[in-house]
Amino acid sequence: MNRPKVYVTRQIPEQGLDLLRQKAEVLVNPEDAPVPRAQLLDIIRDCQGVIGLLTERIDAEFFDAAPELKGYANYAVGFDNIDVPEATRRGLPVSNTPDVLTNATAECAWTLLFSVARRVVEADKVMRSGDWPGWGPMQFIGGDVSGKTLGIVGAGRIGTAMARMSRGFGMPVLYTSSSGRKNEVLESELNARLVPFEELLEQSDFISLHTPLTPGTRHLFGAEAFARMKRTAYLINTARGPVIDEQALLQALKTGEIAGAGLDVYENEPALTPGLAELDNVILLPHIGSGTESARADMSVLAARNLLAMLEGEKPETCLNPEIYD
């Protein structure tokens, strides 16, 4: 019996690839860059399974190009790159990789929070330049963290983990919920409060974004939101770039409407809005939220397990359209 053919659109940790190779013929893109669209559609024409990234658009055109496809596994927790209703209409399972990157991404959010508040990159730049004149009482004064109010926009897995990590700093926690449901974990452990979005903007000293990208959250943070935030507040984004209107953010940072921002994702990734890179009050990371050895390895294994289940006609562990199995 012929082994199924699987295409992996970027190099991922070997743990997942090794698992795939036990049961499938595996072809991996050797370049550390997205495959051009036309080339991708040509490659998958005889594939039964694909593992891809957020950089690939998984839509009707993609499915049409792969008539033998039995499933698609996203190597990411986000899935706004996938037309899930179209996959469901065709009876094709699609999946993502939640849970395994929760702590890594929450830790990255804290890295951004401390770095922008304490002006770490600015200070590091001065030390590397050789121009530091010595300690001075007015140098690199940043924002306090302990006891300040933390606002969580999107208190799902990662937002909850981010909030729980605040316990050592005695931070009051506010959060929003698109469903209106309370987060019992945060309320019982941290005395966190579910508040309207506008109140969170006005009361928070740090706002950390963990919401998925939906039509309702695109440009959730624009000029109106920044106008409501404290001038001493910081915005952290490890969720999805288009949740922020970067032009509006640029103006808010340049005018001091907010104190600073820490970004790991971008509105037009990998492009950066012109002007952001020149500002000292923003920290810019290249989408490394899940970038720890264990998180990336576990993502590869989960994506591989999901795809192998699809190839065998079974429901994957983290299926995005489980109703096709009903």
Q: What is the CATH number of the domain that holds 242?
A: 3.40.50.720
141 and 94 within one domain: no
Question: What pLDDT was estimated at residue 2?
Answer: 86
What residues of the chain score a pLDDT lower than 50?
none
Q: Give CA–CA dist 202/161, Å, rounded.
A: 23
Same domain, 65 and 158: no
- Length in residues, the chain: 326
- Point out the residues that are catalytic: 240, 269, 287
Question: What's the confidence (pLDDT) of residue 179?
Answer: 83
Q: Does the predicted TM-score (pTM) go above 0.85?
A: yes
Residue 254 sits in the same domain as residue 238:
yes
Contact 190, 213 (CB under 8 A): no
90/201 same-domain check:
no
Tens-digit pLDDT profile for residues 265-288: 999 999 999 999 999 999 999 999
Tokens 């109106």, residue located: 224
Here the tokens at position 307 are 């795809």
Q: What integer pLDDT is reported at residue 180 of this predicted model?
A: 84
Q: Which residue in 90, 82, 85 sits closest to 51, CA to CA?
A: 82
The number of distinct structural domains making up the chain is 2
Q: To which H or E segment does residue 115 belong?
A: helix 102-117
Question: Pairing between strand 234-237 and 282-284?
Answer: unpaired
**247 shares its domain with 118:** yes
Range of the domain at 114: 102-284
For position 311, what pLDDT does the model report?
Answer: 98
pLDDT at 178: 83
Residues in contact with 308: Cβ distance below 8 Å, sequence separation at least 6, in sequence order: 19, 20, 23, 24
Query: What is the per-residue pLDDT for 1?
Result: 59
Tell me the two tokens of residue 77.
């927790």
Same domain? 198 vs 298: no
**Same domain, yes or no, for 223 and 315?**
no
Two structure tokens written together for 322 = 């489980």
